[in-house]
Structure 1
């Protein structure tokens, strides 16, 4: 039954995405907010499909930590789920994303026109400058900048380094709140996984990081907060919904290496 529900969602997801993009092509000429509306509509419809096909619902906690107006959200990235969920949590998100996504037919054009911040990760120092420039423009427009500091989706239980771009944002905008965000979405919708599992996926917005920290202290603090709370949410989801641990071979290798170090 789970496999059939997952199949239904995948058909709705890919088919619906194509139909929405094609039907909304005329809005490309109507400015950034019109393209942002398309992104919001896609996210709402995908959440609806998740609810009614596989029984996957969202649970957002810590909204009291979200300020009115611009902020920087630093989030764990385990699944496509959080990329679409932020669009239903904050009013005008600006995602920092890899430039390759802009090349996706139609989807990429909507991403570009809606003012997302595309970064060429192979460009080194200039990529960091482009990111700061794009974030500065978005924050001036009263938007919410979203960055995934690990740079890619990571499976539950993983512990990967955070890229320095998150500190560059923190330092460049000392008057903007930087909010850590934990999720357990990978327990329900794994990276590149056909299967989707029912239950309540949690996104938790934590209190903002205090400003004035040096680079080493900031990087340790934000990683500890996000990773620790994420592990707790993963454990809660596994216990509450009897989920498999959707980990990958690299985690098993990592755990084996850690055991060898301690033995």
Structure 2
């Protein structure tokens, strides 16, 4: 039954991506905010599909730590869902994402229209400078930035492997608070494969880390706060799954 539900959800995921992508194509000619609304709608549709098809609840905690001012959200990255949740809680997020996503139908089109920040994960110092320059422009527009400090999706509970270059460069160049975002999403939606397991996905927005910390102080603090909160959410998520699955 889990396998069947998982395949049905994949059909829901990409079917609605095509539907929303086509219905909102006229927003390609409108201001950026119109395309952002399309992505926000799609994010809600993903959550609905998780609930109806896969018996997966999603919860967003720590909304009191949100702000209307630009900040840098630094999140754990378990799965594709992590990219869409920011559109539910932020008005105009700018996500740092791998450039390969720009070649995906619909997803790439809307990423370009909404001025996300594509990067080459195997890039050089020149790539980093380009990313920081783009981030400065987005922040000057009043937009918050979304970055995943580990650089790629990881399995829940895996040994963390933070890549300090990007987040440290943002911290130095932008002088913005850094808001950690913990999650246990990988318990229900793994980094690879189509299997979706019933349970509860939680995203927790943590209190901001003030700007101005040097790299040696920032990275241990960010990692400790993210890992501590995410591990707590993993324990909670496993308990929920045990209750559901028996």
Using structure 2 for the length normalisation, give the TM-score: 0.92
Query: Does the aligned pair in 2 maintain the 1:50–1:56 contact within 8 Å?
Result: yes
Q: Is residue 120 from structure 1 mapped to residue 117 from structure 2 by the alignment?
A: no
For 1:168, the equivalent position in structure 2 comes to 169
Q: Is residue 57 from structure 1 mapped to residue 65 from structure 2 by the alignment?
A: no
Secondary structure of the residue aligned to 2:118 is: strand
CA distance in 1, matches of 2:132, 2:60: 28
For 2:91, the equivalent position in structure 1 comes to 91
Q: Is residue 29 from structure 1 mapped to residue 29 from structure 2 by the alignment?
A: yes
Secondary structure of the residue aligned to 1:121 is: coil
The CA RMSD measured in Å over matched residues stands at 1.7
- The correspondence of residues 2-17 of structure 1 with structure 2, limited to 5 A, is 2-17=2-17
Secondary structure of the residue aligned to 1:217 is: helix
Give a deviation string over 1:114-171, Cα, whole Å, max 9, x none.
Answer: 1111112333111111211221122122222100011111001112322211011111
Query: Does the aligned pair in 1 maintain the 2:56–2:197 contact within 8 Å?
Result: yes
- The correspondence of residues 1-263 of structure 1 with structure 2, limited to 5 A, is 1-163=1-163, 164-174=165-175, 176-242=176-242
Aligned residues, how many? 243
Query: Does the aligned pair in 2 maintain the 1:184–1:202 contact within 8 Å?
Result: yes
CA distance in 2, matches of 1:234, 1:31: 39
Using structure 1 for the length normalisation, give the TM-score: 0.87
Query: Does the aligned pair in 1 maintain the 2:200–2:240 contact within 8 Å?
Result: no
Secondary structure of the residue aligned to 1:154 is: coil
Query: Does the aligned pair in 2 maintain the 1:159–1:227 contact within 8 Å?
Result: no
Secondary structure of the residue aligned to 2:85 is: helix
How big is the shift at 1:216? Answer: 1.6
How big is the shift at 1:204? Answer: 0.8
How big is the shift at 1:23? Answer: 2.8
Unaligned runs of 5+ residues in structure 1 are: 245-263
Give a deviation string over 1:45-89, Cα, whole Å, max 9, x none.
Answer: 111111211122221111111122211100000111221112111
CA distance in 2, matches of 1:94, 1:226: 21
How big is the shift at 1:243? Answer: 8.3
CA distance in 2, matches of 1:102, 1:48: 25
CA distance in 2, matches of 1:65, 1:19: 34
